[in-house]
Chains A and B, each alone.
Chain A
């Protein structure tokens, strides 16, 4: 029995619909929707060919500062809800550094490589840590901002949309009175400057830091 061309087309069409549905259901079970949403939230700097510029003086904050987003923000004047594990970490270490990166993010890889060459960090982006020379006083967490559980932390320190993106580097310490002091920079941050800021805190040069 030979099928007519319209029957063949119908057969292919039904197969495609079943195949498409099977792919969709299987991918859904693997968490496709959450993963896609998490990726969309982090600005794809590759699409832009641009890196956010956050130059100038490093000044530590307690609350979200004015101009943090490049303009007014609903967060200005409020204290960030620092995750508990960061607060615990700050109880034992003088500085906590959070490095947020994204898959395929060229400036992230460039900044990490720069920090590694300076002997500030060891390992790769995805499983890296602070170099042994600093590990007594400093903790570093390198996190993929496209992964939902890390994105919750990323959102705490993220300026509102418009300048969001990766890499993002956050430096946290505590003041003598126990307040959490923090500074966050979206975009490529010169590795030498990151190292100098952390060393400045350790040397007691950052005003207010413990």
Chain B
């Protein structure tokens, strides 16, 4: 195994750093001319750079100002992405993207047992993260409360899918149903909406806050219970492998990418951005936790966005990296660079013992022995982490990034002895 701890801790550290840098505005960093190399919304409180997809849309909408104005945005995006892509390929998806990180966290809470941590502790931590935002309006507290909310959702998912207790999902459904019912009462004026004093009421009387969080809780709870019931009969869809009908869903992300520019041109709007769930995940929810009293839902697309965000969270617990596999247009933009990028996973068939550990580890449902560095590979290195014989190695150009495992040669030698003896 190629120093799994080092590789994993490096990846997680980079993902956390990318998330923190993405919201550097929280500590006063001003807007920059940079473009995030991953999905992150410039409307997120504290965001400091532009979203690549949003740049495509703005580039298209600049057409009436002439080629120069369009090229200033599209050319900048393409130039930057070609350079980064030539070096890292789709590596940003596996190593930096906060949306990928969110899906990784969801995966861990779904599959990893919480050692020495009781669910009640996680519940109390979540509440402790949420409550300060209810008392004071602060961008940083808004983010902490958002983390607390997603932790609460993850706790429900963990209880249902890891501990196999329906109560977790049922509580999420109950919380979601209560919030959705509250939203309906607020919308009909049966309870007076937007009563902002005292501050906690700003949350419970904000139609957008109750509706948005309610939908996420409700759909996640329903999905958890449905997955539990489904896997009892037909197996867990989380580790769905590439192939068959699953393969048919993969090109959807390319269609989404190709449709963004024409849709913006035809509608004259930020057609994808207006409804994309990533904005809901990293921008709408933190904003509502930060200043629920200052915002009202856009009458045209708020509910579509809220529903899409809830579906996104549900997808992230149903299929590992489901967003990256099927829907992410940015992943589609990076994909062609995988074939030539310097950052890559190299496979040495001579060292492979066909243990299949890499297949089990791959978040994208690939067989790394055949599909490493293909358009679907996000270069996360999880296959490298688990490979016991160093048949898979992570490299940047000629430089090896994953340290050789001291036991790799021994395992390989033993395997060859056993294989040679015909006992396999």
| Residues of A in contact with B (beta carbons under 8 Å apart) | 9, 12-13, 16-17, 19-28, 30-37, 39-41, 43-53, 70-71, 103-107, 109-110, 126, 146, 161-163, 187
Q: Chain A residues near B42 (CB, 8 Å)?
A: 39-40, 43-44, 47
Per-residue interface assignment for chain B, residues 18 to 41, with 1 indicating a CB less than 8 Å from any chain A CB and 0 otherwise: 000000010000011111000001
B111 near A: Cβ within 8 Å? Answer: no
Q: Taking each of B269, B276, B337, B340, which has the highest tally of chain A beta carbons within 10 Å of its own beta carbon?
A: B340
A126's nearest neighbour on chain B, judged by CB, is B64
Per-residue interface assignment for chain B, residues 57 to 73, with 1 indicating a CB less than 8 Å from any chain A CB and 0 otherwise: 11001101000110111
Report the separation of the CA atoms of residues A45 and B268 in the bound assembly, to the nearest whole angstrom.
Answer: 15
Q: Chain B residues near A48 (CB, 8 Å)?
A: 41, 43, 279, 283-284, 287, 295, 298
Report the separation of the CA atoms of residues A208 and B80 in the bound assembly, to the nearest whole angstrom.
Answer: 54
From the candidates B83, B293, B294, name the one contacting A20 in the complex (CB within 8 A). Answer: B83
**CB within 8 Å for A103 and B58 given contacts A27-B79, A49-B274:** yes
Q: Tell whether, in the assembled complex, residue B79 and residue A103 are in contact, meaning their CB atoms are under 8 Å apart.
A: no
Q: Chain B residues near A27 (CB, 8 Å)?
A: 71-76, 79
CB distance from B1 to the nearest CB of A (A): 28
Report the separation of the CA atoms of residues A22 and B80 in the bound assembly, to the nearest whole angstrom.
Answer: 10
Main secondary structure of the interface of A (DSSP, over half): helix
Q: Tell whether, in the assembled complex, residue B294 and residue A163 are in contact, meaning their CB atoms are under 8 Å apart.
A: yes
Q: Tell whether, in the assembled complex, residue B280 and residue A32 are in contact, meaning their CB atoms are under 8 Å apart.
A: no
**CB within 8 Å for A32 and B298 given contacts A13-B342, A43-B43, A46-B279:** no
Extra 10 A-B pairs, beta carbons < 8 Å, given A23-B82, A52-B295? A17-B82, A28-B76, A33-B33, A47-B42, A48-B41, A49-B306, A51-B297, A126-B64, A162-B294, A163-B291
Q: Tell whether, in the assembled complex, residue B75 and residue A44 are in contact, meaning their CB atoms are under 8 Å apart.
A: no
Q: Chain A residues near B293 (CB, 8 Å)?
A: 53, 70
A17's nearest neighbour on chain B, judged by CB, is B86
Report the separation of the CA atoms of residues A40 and B29 in the bound assembly, to the nearest whole angstrom.
Answer: 13
From the candidates A30, A49, A187, name the one contacting B280 in the complex (CB within 8 A). Answer: A49
Q: Tell whether, in the assembled complex, residue A30 and residue B72 are in contact, meaning their CB atoms are under 8 Å apart.
A: yes
CB within 8 Å of A: which B360-397 residues:
none
| Residues of B in contact with A (beta carbons under 8 Å apart) | 25, 31-35, 41-45, 47-51, 54-55, 57-58, 61-62, 64, 68-69, 71-76, 78-83, 85-86, 137, 139, 194, 208, 264, 268-270, 273-276, 279-280, 283-284, 287-288, 290-291, 293-298, 300-302, 304-306, 337, 339-340, 342
From the candidates B33, B269, B295, name the one contacting A50 in the complex (CB within 8 A). Answer: B295
B83's nearest neighbour on chain A, judged by CB, is A20
Q: Tell whether, in the assembled complex, residue B85 and residue A16 are in contact, meaning their CB atoms are under 8 Å apart.
A: yes
CB distance from A143 to the nearest CB of B (A): 14
**CB within 8 Å for A21 and B58 given contacts A13-B342, A40-B42, A126-B64:** no
CB distance from A69 to the nearest CB of B (A): 10
Q: Tell whether, in the assembled complex, residue A20 and residue B295 are in contact, meaning their CB atoms are under 8 Å apart.
A: no
Q: Tell whether, in the assembled complex, residue B62 and residue A50 are in contact, meaning their CB atoms are under 8 Å apart.
A: no
Q: Tell whether, in the assembled complex, residue A22 and residue B79 are in contact, meaning their CB atoms are under 8 Å apart.
A: yes
Q: Chain A residues near B31 (CB, 8 Å)?
A: 37, 40-41
B28's nearest neighbour on chain A, judged by CB, is A161
Q: Tell whether, in the assembled complex, residue A24 and residue B76 are in contact, meaning their CB atoms are under 8 Å apart.
A: yes
**CB within 8 Å for A50 and B287 given contacts A27-B79, A36-B33:** yes
Report the separation of the CA atoms of residues A103 and B294 in the bound assembly, to the nearest whole angstrom.
Answer: 23
Report the separation of the CA atoms of residues A36 and B287 in the bound assembly, to the nearest whole angstrom.
Answer: 22
**CB within 8 Å for A49 and B73 given contacts A21-B79, A104-B58:** no
**CB within 8 Å for A13 and B340 given contacts A26-B75, A49-B302:** yes
